[in-house]
Amino acid sequence: MTHPLTPSQTIGPFYFGTIIKAYHHHLAPPGVAGERIEIVLSLYDGEGAIVPDGMFEIWQANSHGRYDHPEDRRNLPLDAGFDGYGRASTYTDGCARFSTVKPGRVPWPQGGMQAPHINISIFARGLLNRVATRLYFDGDPANDEDPVLKMIDPARRPTLLARQDDKGLWRLPIHLGGAQETVFFDC
């Protein structure tokens, strides 16, 4: 007896059309240093429709600019209970929320400092692999000197800039394709 092949070029597991709901979205427990922020990421497909069953993973430095990673050996403080990693699925409105602290600046391997940013991985139906992008904070003066932003066509940079709304939430819409496609990076 033979069985038909199942698709192997997609992420999973999927149950009833959705990724397993996953949450690790409160990154900064009490006592962690830095400016507390709330981030709302919204996910859209190439046609501009919301993606209600995607998943975001974020990775960031702490407010001092240090990653909780063995390769970051710089003499900067680490915060107990802050690992800089979060994961959240999108809701029916296509959004996922994270509470964290604004990251500090980190060095660029070729010299200089990067602007405060958060690394984002996106998993969604129809993607063969995760896609990666960054969130920068609109209006941050360090954006003008960031080596990564300098490599991006100025017309496309706004796709990486989160804007603060009237409630103080930092919002970044992420478009997987189409005319408003977000800038994505090789991983």
Give the model's confidence band at 24: pLDDT under 50 very low, under 70 low, under 90 confident, else very high. Answer: confident
When pLDDT is averaged across residues 107-115 and rounded to a whole number, the result is: 95
pLDDT digits (tens, 9 = 90+) for 39-73: 999 999 999 999 999 999 999 999 999 999 999 99
Instruction: Out of 1-10, 40-49, 87-96, 141-150, pick the least confident.
Output: 1-10
Give the model's confidence band at 93: pLDDT under 50 very low, under 70 low, under 90 confident, else very high. Answer: very high
Give the model's confidence band at 11: pLDDT under 50 very low, under 70 low, under 90 confident, else very high. Answer: very low
Cβ burial, residue 99 (10 Å; 0-12/13-18/19+): middle
Residues 136 and 106: their CA atoms lie apart, in Å, by 13
Give the model's confidence band at 7: pLDDT under 50 very low, under 70 low, under 90 confident, else very high. Answer: very low
Instruction: Supply angle C-alpha 113, 166, 106, rounded to 5.
Output: 10
| Domains of the chain: residue spans and CATH | 38-175 (2.60.130.10)
φ, ψ dihedrals at 13, nearest 5°: -80, 155
What is the percent of the chain where pLDDT is above 90?
81
- Given a cut of 70, is residue 10 above it in pLDDT? no
- Given a cut of 60, is residue 19 above it in pLDDT? no
pLDDT at 13: 44
Q: Are 68 and 84 in contact (CB under 8 A)?
A: yes
pLDDT digits (tens, 9 = 90+) for 119-175: 999 999 888 889 999 999 999 999 999 999 999 999 999 999 999 999 999 999 999
pLDDT at 125: 85
